[in-house]
């Protein structure tokens, strides 16, 4: 509930609860897994009532060299360094690797995020890939049909050769699942490596005129186009964090 109110991440919320800053019905609660009934219970943070924030949906053009994480123990740049002007706490919808650039959705609507990430909803993610050598038609066909990875075979994908230079193949691949480092691992399974990876579309949402390192709010029609929202019945009971 604290993270949904836009105050901070769930990890931070757990810390604040442990520090005795949260009271439910005038009793300080130290258990971060405490459940509250949003309709009945009065939750105070530092003595002030918690108010549910409006849902916020935004899209960032993540540059290469930024981590999709909140805090990095090694102090490397993270996507949050690019979001300092967003007034509420948002979480990334899935991840892009450090060296991958392109579209990253962020929201404080956890149900929306779960739906986009859920492979059952088949939300297509399109990537432009530069391989470190020329790939044959047979190799692209293998990517298309599905490749055996250590966490199971990949689903059929749409793969289009864009162009070959003397040394490299540039191609486009559209996946409907989002496994860890999936494109890189698929290309590695062919005995090649990815030199450049850019996510250029999520469902019907493309990069358009968004500049690298910049973000913008999604328009309501763009949220709707990312897939019909399931009826989001408001749960009376929720975890305090």
- Catalytic one among 46, 97, 120, 151? 97
Is residue 24 helix, strand or coil? strand
Instruction: Decide if residue 97 touches ligand URA (CB under 6 A).
Output: yes
Torsion (CA) 120, 124, 125, 128 in degrees, nearest 10: 140
Beta strands per DSSP E along the chain: 22-24, 27-28, 35-37, 43-45, 48-49, 57-62, 91-92, 100-107, 125-131, 148-149, 152-153, 158-164, 169-175, 194-202, 205-206, 215-217, 237-239
Interacting stretch for ligand URA, rule CB under 6 A, among 19-27, 164-172, 180-188, 218-226? Answer: 180-188
Interacting stretch for ligand URA, rule CB under 6 A, among 73-81, 164-172, 182-190, 219-227? Answer: 182-190
Interacting stretch for ligand URA, rule CB under 6 A, among 6-14, 46-54, 176-184, 213-221? Answer: 176-184
Is residue 221 helix, strand or coil? helix
Q: Least distance (Å) from ligand URA to the CB of residue 142?
A: 16
Instruction: Decide if residue 184 touches ligand URA (CB under 6 A).
Output: yes
Q: Least distance (Å) from ligand URA to the CB of residue 100?
A: 3
Instruction: Decide if residue 182 touches ligand URA (CB under 6 A).
Output: yes
Quick one: 59 or 197, whose CB is closer to ligand URA?
A: 197
Interacting stretch for ligand URA, rule CB under 6 A, among 32-40, 59-67, 181-189, 219-227? Answer: 181-189
Query: Please, is 150 exposed, middle or buried when counting C-beta atoms within 10 Å of its C-beta (0-12, 13-18, 19+)?
Result: exposed
Quick one: 14 or 62, whose CB is closer to ligand URA?
A: 62
- Tracing tokens 């105070």 back to the chain, one arrives at 44
Instruction: Decide if residue 105 touches ligand URA (CB under 6 A).
Output: no
Q: Which of residues 197-236 bind ligand URA (CB under 6 A)?
A: 197
Token pair for 123: 């939300």
* 151 carries an active-site annotation: no
Q: Given candidates 1, 13, 80, 100, which one binds ligand URA under the rule CB under 6 A?
A: 100
Q: Least distance (Å) from ligand URA to the CB of residue 18?
A: 33
Half-sphere exposure of 71 (CA within 13 A, CB side): 6
One DSSP character per residue, 126-166 reads EEEEEESSPPPHHHHHHHHH--EETTEEPPP-EEEEEEE-S
Instruction: Decide if residue 96 touches ligand URA (CB under 6 A).
Output: yes
In the sheet that holds 22-24, the strands lie side by side as 27-28, 22-24, 43-45, 48-49
Catalytic annotation, residues? 97
> What is the binding site for ligand URA (CB under 6 A)?
96-97, 100, 181-184, 197
């Amino acid at each position: 509930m604290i993270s949904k109110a836009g105050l901070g991440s769930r990890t931070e919320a757990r810390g604040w609860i442990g520090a005795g800053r949260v009271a439910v019905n005038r009793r300080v609660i130290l258990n971060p897994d405490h459940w509250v009934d949003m309709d009945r219970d009065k939750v105070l943070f530092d003595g002030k009532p918690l108010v549910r924030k409006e849902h916020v949906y935004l899209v960032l053009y993540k540059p290469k060299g930024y981590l999709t994480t909140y805090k990095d123990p090694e102090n490397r740049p993270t996507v949050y360094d690019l979001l300092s002007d967003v007034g509420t706490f948002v979480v990334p919808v899935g991840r892009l690797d450090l060296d991958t650039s392109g579209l990253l959705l962020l929201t404080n609507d956890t149900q929306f995020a779960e739906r986009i990430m859920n492979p059952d909803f088949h939300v297509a993610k399109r990537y432009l890939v530069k391989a470190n050598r020329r790939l044959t038609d047979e190799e692209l066909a293998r990517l298309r049909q599905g490749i055996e990875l250590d966490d199971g075979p990949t689903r059929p994908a749409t793969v289009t050769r864009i162009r070959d230079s003397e040394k490299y193949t540039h191609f486009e691949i559209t996946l409907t699942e989002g496994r860890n480092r999936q494109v890189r691992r698929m290309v590695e399974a062919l005995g090649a490596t990815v030199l450049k990876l850019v996510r250029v579309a999520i469902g019907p949402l493309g990069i358009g005129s968004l500049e690298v390192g910049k973000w913008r709010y999604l328009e309501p029609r763009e949220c709707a186009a990312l897939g019909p929202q399931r009826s989001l019945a408001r749960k009376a009971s929720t975890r305090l964090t």
